[in-house]
Structure 1
Amino acid sequence: MTPSARLAASIDLLAAMEAAPRKPADAVANSFFRERRYIGGGDRRAISGLVWDVMRGWRRLSWWLQKQNLPVSARLLCGARLVLDGMAVSAVANLYAEGRYATGVLERHEWDGFIAMQDKPLDSPDMPRAVRLELPDWLLPRLEETFGPALETEVKALSGEAPLDLRVNTLLADRAEARKALAREGLHAEPTPHSPWGLRLEGRLPVTASVPFRDGRVEIQDEGSQLVAAMTAAGPEMRVLDYCAGAGGKTLAMAMMMNNRGHIVACDVSEPRLDGAVRRLRRAGVHNVERHLLGVTGDKWAKRRAASFDRVLVDAPCSGTGTWRRNPDARFRTTETDLAELLVKQAAIMDRASALVRPGGRMIYATCSLLKAENADQVHAFLARHPDFRLVPSEAPDLPESLRHESMISLTPARDETDGFFGAVMERVPTQDEASTSQA
């Protein structure tokens, strides 16, 4: 593709994302490129790179365009990003060409606006703090509550590009073996700093085409997600419930921890997500997992299995603020109303899931959020409603020593080099009658 055609495709992709605000940007991009198979790998990377750069600077770019009385449009956001990244306006203008695969020449007022931006930094001291930090206005005070003086450092890390983390499937290989197998395919991975199963690659690399991925020796999973699975301390003889299993990432990790023994039930309200787990389970050689589709209202299955699980993992639906490195569009897709609805849903899920924990068993509540309202506040509210539960240290052997004795764990990109994750371990305290029955 010509440089002009790449710019035009970037603008088209960005416009497609704007037209589907409730759909994740990566899903829109996948559909966009699938419908345009003539776009080669190098062109796809260049187009995606510009689009993701625009999304990471959306509020600042919009501020600059508005300052020049220009409309905030996909067409001008892409050009503004190039100019503010240091490209000469004359060179940018050459990309705005006429033709079937081009985006049309710059109009005079667009040219003048770009000239006014030339040699300016993307960040301006005149920007409101929320704009400079790429945050919705309503979210700024919530993140200030979470991070305090460390806010700018943490938000800057959230705006960076995430590495590609893999989890070695120890049912089929150890970390050294998997690392060598990846290296034979030109994928040079380093051990992650916290997870005993993690390997890290920098940049977007074709891992899914590699032999170690295809034969199940590695899975794509952020190190933070691996540590949440480790918090369960799931063992070979346990009955384990993954209550919000989705496509089964943490289910796979727990099955590995259990050495393919015991019994795991992977639940979700989405049949397509559960169906998507089948292929992953098969590839990983996992056979101790049963799937169950949860009913929207009531579930006889759950009533029959009340108080029967040793571990219940509740990986609750959340705002996803901890995943912004991978999903920069998500920071503007979630509204304050969405958060209020999520808080109600999270509390209801915890209440339902807790009924499945046996006396002496544990519920692990987790999110990929950085917000106190979704994390510690939810846990304390649950404990107030359920005095038969208490916070306990995880003591999970696969956690690093620094985290092993904590009952609540928060992970952040700046401090821990993971996505943002939260996890809390709560034990159901047996009543005197239950304790007596157990001892008998």
Structure 2
Amino acid sequence: MSEIGLTARPADAVVSAWFRARRQIGERDRGEIIALLQALLRHHARLGWWLERHGRRDTPRNRLLTWLTLAERRSLTQMQRLFSGAKFAPAALTEPEQTLMVKLHGGTINHPAMPEEVCLECPDWAAEALRRRFGEDFAAEMTALLTPAPLDLRVNTLKSTRAAALRGLQELGLSAELSQRAPHGIRVRERPSLARLVALKNGEIEIQDEGSQLVALLVDARPGDRVVDFCAGAGGKTLAMAAQMTNKGRIIACDINEGRLKRCAERARRAGLQNAETRLLTSETDRWVKRHKGSFDRVLVDAPCSGTGTWRRNPDARWSTPQEQGLDGLAALQARILASAARLVKSGGRLVYATCSLLSEENEVQVAAFLATHPEFRVVPLSEAAPQIRGSAHPDYLSLTPARHDTDGFFAAVLSRQVQPEAGPA
């Protein structure tokens, strides 16, 4: 817990490294530790509020003591047994710690005096923008972001079928069902040990939120197309699009992070993909972009963003202000990336701009600004781009929220470069 607060790395990466250094910890204990850590992260603001209320230092240990007292209702006697100072046990409770637990005893994690943003675990840097976006639905959406995300899987149609994958999961005793919107998706309502999922190891299935699967679907990558995933990261959407292309054509996963691209290449090999390759860029304006101007049928820009739509999956992310330059700087970066990637789209081709953000400033506002300076592009309404996707929170764009759709928060706009008439004879 203390290491998570001292590093910019995501909590799941920190936890994985911590467990790798402690392989003696059994699977059951690992599950309990992860569950406890997730609970502490999901109640970050409320635990801090209680510590401030009682004038105590905001430390990981004090947060843990507060959680065990308020949420798990542990008595002082139980806590003294847990914190005994024995081998493998936490250090014995100090007198001030015991006093804190006495003061907290009988309380609950929520308190009527808490500000709404604290109760809803909404950080100051995002509160105003989220209130503008959701209005009277603000509390409902923030509440939904506090619930743990389900395990969403995408079936790799190059290696399996959804029926076969679903049957395999159910034979493991898992509560698995077909996704409501994604045609190759399966949702598991519990958190199984991933080591049990042989289909995950051999590339028959991939972990991917249903909303992310729909973004990849919107690109409409077809067999034989030339496709670019401009901000590919570890390649979740690259893999989905490559499978749609049935291993025909060419898809290039681009990113500025070499480590993420290596992970993408590994996943592509495991998935049996032969039409995917990676390209390391120095920046969004890498010379490779200029050399391939107008060369691609489809370009996906899954832009770096605030990540507000992923808070139920990554609860620690809400307490890290996006980028060092804040939201304004992040929006400027998104605009530069979108404008540069647009150069790759050929006449009649499709450009998809996507984020995992719930903030209008990163979504509709960003698209409007791009269209104002790029009249050669037009919006392809969602009803035209993907009529099978229904229920979006926006009439023209894909707009998914946890409360309305039970997915991560996602936004995607489909844009088309208009076909330029050929020049006539002089």
Does 2:74 match 1:87? yes
1:423 aligns with 412
2:379 aligns with 391
Select the residue among 54, 57, 64 that pairs with 1:68.
54
Q: Is the 8 A contact 2:392 2:399 kept in 1?
A: no
Q: Distance in 2 between matches of 1:405 and 1:321?
A: 18
The one-letter code of the counterpart of 1:366 is A
Q: Is the 8 A contact 1:260 1:288 kept in 2?
A: yes
Q: TM-score, length-normalised on structure 2?
A: 0.94
Does 2:84 match 1:97? yes
Select the residue among 351, 354, 358 that pairs with 2:346.
358
1:340 aligns with 328
Q: TM-score, length-normalised on structure 1?
A: 0.91
Q: Distance in 2 between matches of 1:282 and 1:421?
A: 27
Select the residue among 389, 398, 405 that pairs with 1:409.
398
Tell which deviates more after alignment, 425-434 or 50-59. Answer: 425-434
Q: 1:113 to 1:280 in 2, by over 3 A?
A: same
Q: 1:282 to 1:209 in 2, by over 3 A?
A: farther
Q: Distance in 2 between matches of 1:408 and 1:359?
A: 22
What is the correspondence of 1:138-153 to structure 2 with a 5 Å cutoff? Answer: 138-153=125-140
Q: CA deviation at 1:317?
A: 0.7
Q: 1:100 to 1:76 in 2, by over 3 A?
A: same
Q: Is the 8 A contact 1:196 1:398 kept in 2?
A: no
The one-letter code of the counterpart of 1:60 is R
Q: Distance in 1 between matches of 2:348 and 2:55?
A: 63
Q: Distance in 2 between matches of 1:391 and 1:152?
A: 31
Tell which deviates more after alignment, 287-296 or 66-75. Answer: 287-296
2:164 aligns with 177
Select the residue among 4, 27, 45 that pairs with 1:59.
45
Does 2:372 match 1:381? no
2:142 aligns with 155
The one-letter code of the counterpart of 1:295 is T
Select the residue among 314, 328, 350 that pairs with 2:315.
328
The one-letter code of the counterpart of 1:51 is L
Q: CA deviation at 1:208?
A: 4.7
The one-letter code of the counterpart of 1:302 is V
Q: Distance in 1 between matches of 2:197 and 2:37?
A: 27
Q: Is the 8 A contact 2:385 2:414 kept in 1?
A: no
Does 2:13 match 1:27? yes
Q: Is the 8 A contact 2:125 2:321 kept in 1?
A: no
Q: Is the 8 A contact 1:233 1:398 kept in 2?
A: no
Q: CA deviation at 1:45?
A: 1.2
Q: What's the RMSD between the two structures over aligned residues?
A: 2.0
Give the match's secondary structure for 2:79: helix
Q: Is the 8 A contact 1:396 1:404 kept in 2?
A: no
Q: CA deviation at 1:405?
A: 10
Fraction of identical pairs, as percent: 46
Q: Distance in 2 between matches of 1:297 and 1:367?
A: 16
Q: Distance in 2 between matches of 1:62 and 1:403?
A: 36
Q: Is the 8 A contact 2:393 2:400 kept in 1?
A: no
Give the match's secondary structure for 1:329: helix
1:238 aligns with 225
Q: Distance in 2 between matches of 1:184 and 1:33?
A: 29
Q: Distance in 2 between matches of 1:188 and 1:342?
A: 39
Q: Is the 8 A contact 1:368 1:421 kept in 2?
A: yes
Tell which deviates more after alignment, 151-160 or 120-129. Answer: 120-129
1:261 aligns with 248
Q: Is the 8 A contact 2:305 2:357 kept in 1?
A: yes
The one-letter code of the counterpart of 1:81 is W
Cα displacement string for residues 263-311 of structure 1 (whole angstroms, at most 9, x for unaligned residues): 2111111111111112211111111112211123743322221112111
Select the residue among 253, 257, 261 that pairs with 1:274.
261
Q: CA deviation at 1:183?
A: 2.6
Cα displacement string for residues 324-365 of structure 1 (whole angstroms, at most 9, x for unaligned residues): 111110000125833222111111000100011111111100
Q: Distance in 1 between matches of 2:14 and 2:259?
A: 18
Give the match's secondary structure for 2:346: strand
The one-letter code of the counterpart of 1:90 is T
1:119 aligns with 106
Q: 1:77 to 1:142 in 2, by over 3 A?
A: same
Q: Distance in 1 between matches of 2:61 and 2:390?
A: 50
Q: Is the 8 A contact 1:179 1:188 kept in 2?
A: no
Q: CA deviation at 1:430?
A: 2.8
Q: Distance in 2 between matches of 1:288 and 1:311?
A: 14
Aligned residues: 422
Q: 1:389 to 1:31 in 2, by over 3 A?
A: same
Structure 1 runs of 4+ aligned residues shifted over 6 Å read none
Tell which deviates more after alignment, 337-346 or 289-298. Answer: 289-298
Cα displacement string for residues 383-412 of structure 1 (whole angstroms, at most 9, x for unaligned residues): 112111111124345843445995311111
Q: Is the 8 A contact 1:231 1:399 kept in 2?
A: no
Q: 1:422 to 1:397 in 2, by over 3 A?
A: closer
Q: Distance in 1 between matches of 2:385 and 2:415?
A: 13
Give the match's secondary structure for 2:315: coil
Select the residue among 343, 356, 366 that pairs with 1:368.
356
2:30 aligns with 44
Cα displacement string for residues 356-384 of structure 1 (whole angstroms, at most 9, x for unaligned residues): 11111111000111111111111111111
Q: Is the 8 A contact 1:230 1:396 kept in 2?
A: no
1:5 aligns with none
Q: Is the 8 A contact 2:227 2:298 kept in 1?
A: yes
Q: Distance in 2 between matches of 1:387 and 1:154?
A: 35
Q: CA deviation at 1:87?
A: 2.4
Q: 1:398 to 1:289 in 2, by over 3 A?
A: farther
1:294 aligns with 281
The one-letter code of the counterpart of 2:405 is D
Does 2:376 match 1:400? no
Cα displacement string for residues 224-245 of structure 1 (whole angstroms, at most 9, x for unaligned residues): 1000001111111321111111
Q: CA deviation at 1:92?
A: 2.4
Q: CA deviation at 1:74?
A: 0.8
Q: CA deviation at 1:187?
A: 3.4
